[in-house]
A and B are shown apart, each in its own frame.
Chain A
Amino acid sequence: MIQLPDFSSLNLITMSPMFVILLGALTILCIDLVKPNLDKTLYVVLTMLTLFIALGVTLSLNINERGLFDTILIDGVSVLGQTLIIAGSMLFIPLALTKRRFHDFSYPEFFSLFLFMVFGFQFMAASDNLILIFVGLETGSLALYTLIAMHNTKLAHEAAIKYFTMGAMAAGFFTMGAAIIYATTGSVEMYAIAKVLQDRMGEAGILIPIIGGALFMIVAIGFKVSLIPFHMWTPDTYEGASAPMAGYMSIVPKVAMMVVAIRLFGIYMELNIDIIKITIIVLAIITTTLANMMALVQKDVKRMLAYSSISHAGFVLVAIALDTTKGYSSIFLYYGLFMFTNLGAFTMLWISRHKYNVHHDRFHHPYSKFAGMIKIAPISAVIMAVFMLSLAGVPPFSLFWGKLYVLSAIVDSGYYGVAIIMALNSAIAVYYYLKLIVYMFLKEPDESRKNVVYANRAFSLELVIGIAAFVTITSIFYIEPLMSFITDLVGASGY
């Protein structure tokens, strides 16, 4: 007998943020259809407005509701994830209004693709259905590959293809993992999976499919949040993409994937399977340490920032294996703070971007480009230094508090050795952040290149940098309300 679906369980309101974004994307496409050759400022503002409405709608959602036949789950984690995704996108979009013309931003399709990507990532954060997550993942990722390629340089094409290939492989792993989980539990809904796994834990030999499924999922998630050894695409992709896009990639897709990881590994943590816990911690340690080592030897600031964001991802990943409210909350706090600082740093690269490589045969942003910046552009140098110190975790700048909470969560759970390794990693990392500060403050500028610093200057870029710097410097005043907001939402989701 076929049961007719109950339309009250459609509960479309839970999908309202996604609908807003979708509507915005379609509007941009329609406008372009009716009246082509409009200026990009229109699209930037429209995108911004769409995101603004979506942010408001997201924050007004009722917590712990389900929709779309129980496949959409709006809990605290999904609200937080969507908020971070939308806020990160709002910081990114003004960066399209540069002084110099770049290929990508001149197409209206860029902006509608961008909104489709946000739509996909929102789905990942808002669903606990493996199939829906996969759809969201692919929607977001395919749009993102295209966005990278639209930068239209040789390196950008390489970056997009590399990311596409690796992303396809990750998607493959994800489906395999989902298939194994489905084979074991007969469901793709995570709450059902958790229940079945709890019941079947006593059975002999059950651990093999459970761990097998988890490993496939770890690999898939590892590709997307760029854990070592699944990180190979990251530096090249970041280098090929435009600077703001690279900054964006270091945050928003990772937040979306982190939410999935929290939901998925939350199940395994409940089952108390040590090997999965240990695998995650070991991966996190390897990621942080090796990424730091590789960042040390980079000659290009953008590549350095790419490796640095890998190491930050590793640092945060440990918190997933802790299975405490504080651990999960600290992930969101960390990414929230990291978003402003890291995007600010990438924007500083963007503001100094030339159309062609004027400093180095291969790199757009070699360290030497920033030599003596304190004498040429003192305020920019100070702001960049603040971003670097914040990334290094020097108090009182914002990421120090993120580090403090993550380390504290690790210590609370009793992993002292891990905490010390992570702490010492920050000491390794400080070297490459200081290297840029040393170039900016302590080296003599190259007289012939005095005009380089603000090559791509525009008001909207300065505004984004200003906001990022303000958030980075004044962190002490808002950490308390921010953390209790996050903790409340995470706690409400039962993590």
Chain B
Amino acid sequence: MSNILTVLIFFPLIAAILGLFVSQKSIRVYGITVAAAEFLLSLWLWMSFDTNEAGMQFVEKLKLIPEFGISYYLGVDGISLFIVIMATLMTLIGIIALSVKENLKNMIITLLFLEVAMVGVFVSLDVILFYVFWEFSLVPMLYIIGAWGGDKRLYASIKFFIYTFAGSLVMLVGILYVAYAYYSTTGVWSFSLTDWYGLILPFSVQKYLFWAFFLGFAIKVPMVPFHTWLPYAHGQAPTVGSVILAAVLLKMGSYGFVRFSLPLFPDASVAYITPVVIIAIIMIIYTAMVAYAQKDMKQVIAYSSISHMGIIVLGTFAMNVEGIAGSVFQMLSHGIVSGALFLLVGAIYDRRHTKLLSEFGGIAKVMPNYATIFVIMTMASVGLPLTIGFIGEYLSLLGFFKVSPLLTVIAGTSIILGAVYMLSVVKKTFFGPLTNPENEKLKDLSTKELTALIPLVAIVVWLGIYPKPVLGPINNSTKALVQLMHKKSITPKAQEIILVSKDKGVNK
């Protein structure tokens, strides 16, 4: 089946439109069925994916606007494959765990539209197509936060929209510049990424383009100082919104770094390692400290998200196979773990309608299953060996250690700080005396919630112990990426940094 990617994009779209005719009563089953079918399709994609092949697979190309070089160009490689699967999985789990009651139909249709955009972003190889999906993903999310969110939902949703929109417009100017540069070198217009990979830009141009793209991606990640939209968005979003936002939407930014910034501007990326990494370290440590100071459970996890995204950026800018592969793996692990944590917070919020840490304490006694899953996810979030969180974090830091041991040691404190704030949440919530009488009659996880959470627990343990099936293809494609970057780089500094790490990567 060579056009499986088209099916993956358009199946949820058609399902969303047809969903308008399904009655409110049966919409939930409809949503789960569609999301499950989409997830199975993405698993099929994995099954038929050739894991030894590093390049793009299932490539489809159809000219849309030939004169301007815009085409409908899709493909996946090891880097994007698992993010696509994670996007379909988290949508499925989000719909299963859905606890909103009013306007359920609108919610499910919106989620399906969002799924179209998410899958589209990760499989587009045409930059304009990528940009279309990237921008379009804002609209469903605006509606999800704005319609089902908390008290300040309007502020949060508009802030989210405008922040991302502003950043991506600057990126659009960058995109148009690269296209023009391609046109002036080759005489034809093209927006296809594989064509652009062959384009070697002078450093003086790369440095501006790097920052134009950086702004677009950094706001999405979000990197300090552009992170202020995220705590609001998470704080106000309904559970499913937070799950998808943390698990998939943030990954668009970090994926953008891997797919666009590094291979298109290798020299500028190397030249600006230091400023970017300093921002990353600030975001790792600063947001970890902020997370510790939060009184609201969901805010702790929101800030911890930013902190973990810092590790991903750090790994990406290690410019070697370990670092980049580690950061891609960390994207998956962060998606699974933070998604699960937001689901857990949502579960307790549905019961008590509060997320304040001070309201809880000792609830492990009344909710043992809940506490167990929460602790497992906490361990994964902290990066305990044998959980999914360890591998990505370890590889990212290992990769960056080759670039700068000192900065790596500073960044490594994130593991300690992460343990501090996450364990303090666990302690305050689950252990100690059960003082608040309202907590005494809390019910443990329902079947619905367990159905959503147990697969995630399984993945956390499975990939923690045996990451090879996922890490293998990621590694292959990352190697190809690093080789491409090395071949393309023109400044001696970039050649040195990318080459050294490549050799060590091969030895491994």
Contacts and interface: CB of A to CB of B under 8 A. Distances in A.
A480 B64 contact: yes
A438 interface: yes
Interface stretch (B163-171, B390-398, B421-429): B163-171
Contact of A426 (B67, B139, B143, B169): B169
Nearest to A427: B166
B68 interface: yes
Interface string A416-436: 100110011011001100100
B115 to A, nearest CB: 16
B65 A480 contact: yes
B165 A412 contact: no
A416 B68 contact: no
Contacts of A407: 172-173, 176
Contact of B176 (A389, A419, A427): A419
B67 A430 contact: no
B313 to A, nearest CB: 23
B170 A424 contact: yes
Interface in B145-167: 146-147, 153-154, 157-158, 161-162, 165-166
B131 A395 contact: yes
A423 B169 CA distance: 5
A411 B176 contact: yes
B433 interface: no
B498 interface: no
B230 interface: no
Contact of A408 (B166, B170, B180): B180
B466 interface: no
B107 interface: no
B66 interface: yes
Nearest to A479: B65
B241 to A, nearest CB: 13
Contact of A442 (B64, B147, B172, B177): B147
Interface string B117-160: 00000000000100110011011001100110000011001100
A434 B66 CA distance: 33
Contact of A434 (B128, B158, B169, B183): B158
Contacts of A389: 139
A483 B162 contact: no
Contacts of A438: 146, 154, 157-158
Given A395-B135, A404-B128, A442 B67 contact: no
Nearest to B72: A476
Contacts of A423: 169-170, 172-173
A479 B176 CA distance: 17
Nearest to A389: B139
A238 to B, nearest CB: 25
B229 to A, nearest CB: 13
A412 B154 contact: no
B179 interface: yes
Contacts of A426: 165, 169
A480 B189 CA distance: 13
Nearest to A435: B158
Interface string A372-402: 0000000000000000010000111000100
A421 to B, nearest CB: 10
Contacts, number: 86
Given A408-B176, A424-B169, A438-B146, A431 B136 contact: no
Nearest to B128: A404
Interface string B45-57: 0000000000000
A430 B143 CA distance: 15
Contact of B66 (A394, A411, A420, A480): A480
Given A424-B170, A434-B158, A394 B138 contact: yes
Given A389-B139, A394-B138, A395-B136, A427 B165 contact: yes
Contacts of A476: 64
Interface string A268-287: 00000000000000000000
Nearest to A476: B64
A434 B142 contact: yes
Nearest to B146: A442
Contacts of A442: 143, 146-147, 153-154, 157
Among B65, B161, B176, max chain A CB count under 10 A is at: B176
B169 A427 contact: yes
B20 to A, nearest CB: 10
A484 interface: yes
B71 to A, nearest CB: 11
Interface string A457-493: 0000000000000000000100110011001000000
A411 B180 contact: yes
A216 interface: no
B146 A411 contact: no
B162 A431 contact: yes
Interface string A242-279: 00000000000000000000000000000000000000
Given A412-B180, A427-B166, A480 B67 contact: yes
A307 interface: no
Nearest to A423: B169
A285 to B, nearest CB: 15
Contacts of A484: 67
A15 B83 CA distance: 61
Contact of A424 (B68, B139, B143, B166): B166
Contacts of B165: 394, 426-427, 430
A331 B103 CA distance: 42
A483 B139 contact: no
B391 to A, nearest CB: 36
A411 B183 CA distance: 12
Contacts of B68: 405, 408, 480, 483
Given A408-B179, A424-B166, A419 B67 contact: no
B65 A419 contact: no
Nearest to A409: B176
Contacts of A420: 170, 173
Contacts of A404: 128, 172, 176
Nearest to A420: B173
B136 A394 contact: yes
B113 to A, nearest CB: 12
Contact of B132 (A396, A427, A479, A480): A396
A334 interface: no
A223 interface: no
Contacts of B146: 438, 441-442
Contact of B162 (A411, A430, A437): A430
Among A400, A420, A423, A487, max chain B CB count under 10 A is at: A423
A419 B162 CA distance: 18
A479 B177 CA distance: 21
Contacts of A483: 65, 67-68
Nearest to A326: B68
Contacts of B153: 442
Contacts of B131: 395
B158 A431 contact: yes
A416 B135 CA distance: 22
A426 B153 CA distance: 23
A437 B139 CA distance: 10
A395 B132 contact: yes
A416 B209 CA distance: 11
A239 B335 CA distance: 50
21 contacts: A394-B136, A394-B165, A395-B135, A395-B136, A400-B132, A407-B176, A408-B179, A416-B177, A416-B208, A419-B173, A420-B173, A423-B170, A423-B172, A424-B170, A426-B169, A430-B161, A431-B158, A442-B153, A476-B64, A480-B66, A480-B68
Given A427-B166, A434-B142, 9 more contacts: A394-B165, A404-B128, A404-B172, A407-B173, A411-B173, A411-B180, A416-B177, A423-B172, A438-B157
Interface of A: 389, 394-396, 400, 404-405, 407-408, 411-412, 416, 419-420, 423-424, 426-427, 430-431, 434, 437-438, 441-442, 476, 479-480, 483-484, 487
**Minimum-distance CB pairs A-B, first 9:** A427-B166, A423-B169, A395-B132, A442-B146, A411-B176, A480-B65, A419-B173, A408-B176, A395-B135
